[in-house]
Amino acid sequence: MAKAVIFDFSGTLFRVEDARTRLRAVLAARGIAADEDEVAAVAENLQASGAIAGIPATRPVPEQLADVWRRRDVTPDDHRYAHLALTRTVGLPWPEVAEDIYDRQFSPESWLPYPDTAEVLAGLCDRGIPVAVLSNIVWDLRPTFVHHGVDRFVAQYVFSYREGVMKPDPRIFARACELLGHPPADVLMVGDDVHADGGAQRIGCQFRAVPHLPPTDRPRALLDAVAPLL
């Protein structure tokens, strides 16, 4: 049985707000009035393009962006460039809000915990099972955990931009295990991406997948994933 747990962030513990919610928020902040049908259409394109970090794209990334897209979670500059470039491919009726759309992801309010996130993290903490959050990301996530009242349950944070490597590179999983103080064989990795998060199996970690769904559609996947430990 696992003695420590690593969780992915986006699509696992938290889900980013949908593109329509984000677009409404940035337009309102700028005092821009927009027709709801237009907002819905632009939001759908934003989401499909992959411009909203945390929501998988449903259409291919343009070839000219492929290289920077693959390495986007290693440096903040590459991440900003890649996502803003995708945002601009949508043809925003309000080009002045492109950076606002990008920057909103840094706000803890734009991330929603899954219904069982707090229960699972608190339960593991109560049982003395240390938790790390491991994310391909280019900013510090701790303010989001603080905002939602669950930071006290997380022992370690490992971010790709700090380590200089991204999942599924085995080195980033090894780093998380090292910080947790347990060998990979004693560590469970939980994530929504079988390729990226499942890479933990390459160093001997256990792995459980959870579906990347909106919080309203996924009430207890985390509880099911760690049930033997609780």
Helix or strand (DSSP H, E) at 77: helix 76-89
As annotated, the residues of the chain forming the CATH 3.40.50.1000 domain(s) are 4-15+111-229
Query: For residue 144, what pLDDT band results from cuts at 50, 70 and 90?
Result: very high
Residues 6+ apart with CB under 8 A from 97: 23, 26, 27, 30, 32
Q: What is the pLDDT of residue 204?
A: 98
Question: For 50-66, what is each residue's pLDDT tens digit?
Answer: 999 999 999 999 999 99
Token reading at 80:
């900003």
Domain 4-15+111-229 has CATH 3.40.50.1000: yes
pTM assigned to the model: 0.96
DSSP state of 58: S
Read off the pLDDT of residues 76-90 as tens digits, 9 standing for 90 and up. 999 999 999 999 999
What per-residue confidence (pLDDT) applies to 29?
A: 97
Which whole number is the average pLDDT over 11-15? 98
